[in-house]
Structure 1
Amino acid sequence: MNDHQFDFSCDVLEQSHELPVLVDFWAQWCDPCRMLTPVLERIAEKFGGKVKLVKINTEEYPDIASRYNVSGIPNVKLFIDGSITDEFTGALPEAQIEQWLKRALPSRYSAEVKLAQDLVGEGKERQAAAILDEVLVNEADNIAALALMIRIRLFGHPDDALKLNERLEGEPGYGEFCDAVRTLGGLLQKDEDALPDDPVRERYRAALACLRSGAFSDALEAFIGVIRESRYYDDDGSRKACIAIFKYLGEDHPVTLKHRRVFDRALY
């Protein structure tokens, strides 16, 4: 957009109620700004229809730059519904900006994902999965939908969940979740006939059965029992299982809080 002919209130604030607006604060003398401009233009084109790019020369519009606390340039701010929702400063690599924008932009399917979450909470996983299938057909990189679908599929169809998990790998904030899914998926698919012969074998099999049924508390109790008797059975499988369950549920989950200290004591 030509930054000599625009009205900030109309072209940014009002427009952002209809479409997210990416504002690039720049200046002619700023070399990093000139490097960033074509990058932002390529990204805006790639996200066509999802975001509008506006360039504002801070030398020509110092009042706007001051109003929005632009202290260093290039400075890029994302406006949604009239407010700044995210921003960054400096000429970041193109791939990093794409990842940032993908996380910062609201999904067109946020209401559908929220409905699916509510359905899962009510135990209606089949209905939730049908909604998420439709979302992922239309928005394959919808991270929230992908993570929720993995949770739905993991215990009934671990092979499907592991394939979906590969698409989630590397997403910021999902590292521990992906690690947990990878470990749990392997345990759920384990060939029990190939388990090492050991006095704890049946207890370990019972722990796996509890895990498959989603009885996390019982599974943790059984895995911790195995750790106490045979610490490294099945390649340290019980310790790995417990850590994966804790990561999957979250540190503040009641089941995690109930068993975490007991687990720690069992190790030492």
Structure 2
Amino acid sequence: MSDSPFDFDRDVIETSFTIPVLVDFWAPWCAPCRALTPVLEAVAGRLAGRFELVKVNTEEHPEIARRYGVRGIPNVKLFVDGTVADEFTGTLPESALEDWLQRALPNPYQARLEQAEALISAGRAAEAEPVLRQILAAEPAYDPAAVLLARALLDTDPDQALETLKPIGPDSDQSEAAEALRTLARLFGLLEHPERLAEAPAKSAYLDAIRKIREERYEPALAQLIELVRKARDYDEGGARKACVAIFRLLGNGHELTRRYRGQLSNALYV
């Protein structure tokens, strides 16, 4: 959009209810403003469709600059739903500007993630898969979608669930959820391939506990797993303990079962 006279309320405020608007307050005499312009335009090109870029010449529109408290330029404000969601003053290198925008812009996938999560919770995981694959096709490194896709695949294809989780590293904010799902995917794979487990007195009870996890009968599964920790803690390289930890991570720290059984697991480990 050019910096010719325009209607700020229409072109920025109203538009921001449809798509975020990044407003660059600048002036022709401002050297840092001139340096920032190509950086803004380059990032706007890469993130096309995520926001609109509008330039406001503070010499031509001082009243708008005053209204939004612009005291130094370049001043960049991100408008979302009619209000300033975030801003900065001065210049940023291209990579820092893109990082700032990625944090500040609304998540374009949130509605589809919530749709997929609702489908999985309703037992319609197969319908969630294409939604999540579409997100990952557009954003392959988007870990929340990968975690949800692994959840959707967990029952029907645990090996594929493990593949889906491979790119998620320990620094990701999804690392705990991914680790829990990795454990569960490996365990569910044992139901399909029980020959992977060593023959031992604990094998039958262990597989039965895994079956209960798969059926989301978490309380009897935890009780059975903790009993296995007491009697056969080394079976499947400590698999019963790992299964308990995976359930706790899946349910979350605040869940009643996590609070109740975490202490029981500790007692079983240290008796």
TM-score bracket relative to the smaller structure: 0.7 to 0.9
**Residue 158 (structure 1) shift:** 1.5
TM-score (norm 2): 0.73
1:209-224 map, 5 Å: 209-224=211-226
Check conservation: 1:107, 1:142, Cα contact below 8 A.
no
Give 2:240's aligned amino acid. S
Partner-residue secondary structure (3-state), 1:233: coil
**Residue 192 (structure 1) shift:** 3.7
Assess, with a 3 A threshold, how the Cα gap between structure 1 residues 236 and 72 changes in structure 2: closer, same or farther: farther
Partner-residue secondary structure (3-state), 1:189: helix
Check conservation: 2:158, 2:185, Cα contact below 8 A.
yes
State the alpha-carbon separation in 2 of the partners of residues 192 and 90 from structure 1.
62
**Residue 21 (structure 1) shift:** 0.9
Q: Rg: which structure is higher?
A: 2
Please name the residue that 2:52 is paired with: 52
1:89-108 map, 5 Å: 94-95=94-95, 97-98=97-98, 101-102=101-102, 104-106=104-106
Please name the residue that 2:259 is paired with: 257
The C-alpha deviation readout for 1:118-152, integer Å capped at 9, x for no partner, is 44343333344455556656776776554433322
1:143-222 map, 5 Å: 145-166=145-166, 173-190=173-190, 192-196=194-198, 198-222=200-224
**Residue 251 (structure 1) shift:** 1.8
Assess, with a 3 A threshold, how the Cα gap between structure 1 residues 127 and 5 changes in structure 2: closer, same or farther: same
**Residue 71 (structure 1) shift:** 7.7
Task: Select the residue among 225, 228, 237 that pairs with 1:226.
Answer: 228
Which consecutive residues of structure 1, in runs of 5 or more, have no partner in the other structure?
none
State the alpha-carbon separation in 2 of the partners of residues 230 and 185 from structure 1.
21
Give 1:54's aligned amino acid. V
State the alpha-carbon separation in 1 of the partners of residues 156 and 125 from structure 2.
11
**Residue 6 (structure 1) shift:** 4.6
Please name the residue that 1:266 is paired with: 268
Identity between Structure 1 and Structure 2 (%): 44
The C-alpha deviation readout for 1:60-87, integer Å capped at 9, x for no partner, is 8676566546688766443222123345
The C-alpha deviation readout for 1:16-68, integer Å capped at 9, x for no partner, is 123211234568365xx776544432221012123112345678867656654
141-150 vs 179-188, which moves further: 141-150
Give 1:267's aligned amino acid. L
State the alpha-carbon separation in 1 of the partners of residues 68 and 221 from structure 2.
53
Please name the residue that 2:247 is paired with: 245
State the alpha-carbon separation in 1 of the partners of residues 234 and 156 from structure 2.
28
State the alpha-carbon separation in 2 of the partners of residues 162 and 17 from structure 1.
39
Give 1:187's aligned amino acid. L
Assess, with a 3 A threshold, how the Cα gap between structure 1 residues 75 and 128 changes in structure 2: closer, same or farther: same
State the alpha-carbon separation in 1 of the partners of residues 252 and 160 from structure 2.
22
73-82 vs 106-115, which moves further: 106-115
State the alpha-carbon separation in 2 of the partners of residues 185 and 48 from structure 1.
37
State the alpha-carbon separation in 2 of the partners of residues 90 and 241 from structure 1.
51
Assess, with a 3 A threshold, how the Cα gap between structure 1 residues 194 and 113 changes in structure 2: closer, same or farther: closer
Assess, with a 3 A threshold, how the Cα gap between structure 1 residues 168 and 23 changes in structure 2: closer, same or farther: farther
TM-score (norm 1): 0.73
